[in-house]
Structure 1
């Protein structure tokens, strides 16, 4: 049984660490803004086990005119649960929540290997690729919400 619910920043670490920060200290799972009241963390549970996370940060990207934007950060699904549609469910839930807050633009820095996944969900690349030290090539991707 799949359940999506709001969780704390600390709860995201059990998924962020092995997927996004493998081999790095646990402290690297903390993102600036994680503890702000405006930040929303969502967990995806499969039979009561947390297997996926996504976080929404109220952050404005200078490329977009709208003042009401959320940045997605820390989206991850545990490796042995990937390619089963859970990432899709997390992203849909993030869009639903963002719309409740009247968000006009969802954006994020996508790892190069994840671009195809996001493009299938109608996210678009803006600008040129860039490097994040010790992580790799990224692209800013976005979707305008109605």
Structure 2
């Protein structure tokens, strides 16, 4: 029988176990509680395989001072369990998040701090890098990436 994948809204606390396993392995789970997780305008998506959560992504209304004060969202904590990578599931989460943002605001803008190992994935989806690479202490090297999303509210 073929697996069924679904993407749906989840709570911030539902993201923590997968964030911990994928993004902060061997570290205290409290490092996976992000500022903004419970802020107004933040939403969290989970991808499920036959009702088991296997990936997460969080989208927060958060402005980066390097960019103009338009409707900015920040992607944080996108993670797919290692045994499910390479199946297009990150793409499903990203596209669902973009779609939800585009329904909410005019001229939306999505930015995030991407791990350098994920740059090619995001470039494939139309994101561009900004500035210089930087180290997130105790994690790995990152770079800011961004994309102006076409709004459905034009």
TM bin, normalised by shorter chain, reads over 0.9
Q: Which runs of 5+ in 2 are unaligned?
A: none
- TM (norm. structure 1) is 0.96
**Is structure 2 residue 46 aligned with structure 1 residue 43?**
yes
Asked if 2 retains the 8 angstrom alpha-carbon contact of 1:58 and 1:69, the reply is yes
Moved more, 11-20 or 95-104: 95-104
Displacement of 1:101: 1.5
Asked if 1 retains the 8 angstrom alpha-carbon contact of 2:17 and 2:29, the reply is no
| Corresponding residue for residue 7 of structure 1 | 10
**32, 38, 57: which one pairs with 1:54?**
57
Asked if 2 retains the 8 angstrom alpha-carbon contact of 1:66 and 1:104, the reply is no
Aligned residue pairs total 146
| Corresponding residue for residue 17 of structure 1 | 20
- TM (norm. structure 2) is 0.92
Displacement of 1:13: 1.2
Asked if 1 retains the 8 angstrom alpha-carbon contact of 2:115 and 2:141, the reply is yes
Which secondary structure state, in structure 2, belongs to the residue aligned with residue 14 of structure 1? helix
**48, 63, 66: which one pairs with 1:63?**
66
RMSD: 1.0
Q: Which runs of 5+ in 1 are unaligned?
A: none
Moved more, 34-43 or 67-76: 34-43
Work out which of the two has the higher radius of gyration on C-alpha atoms and give 1 or 2: 2
| Corresponding residue for residue 83 of structure 2 | 80
- How big is each residue's C-alpha offset from its partner over 1:101-131, in whole Å with a ceiling of 9 and x where there is no partner? 1152100000010101111111000111111
Which secondary structure state, in structure 2, belongs to the residue aligned with residue 36 of structure 1? coil
Q: Which 4+ residue blocks in structure 1 deviate beyond 2 angstroms?
A: none
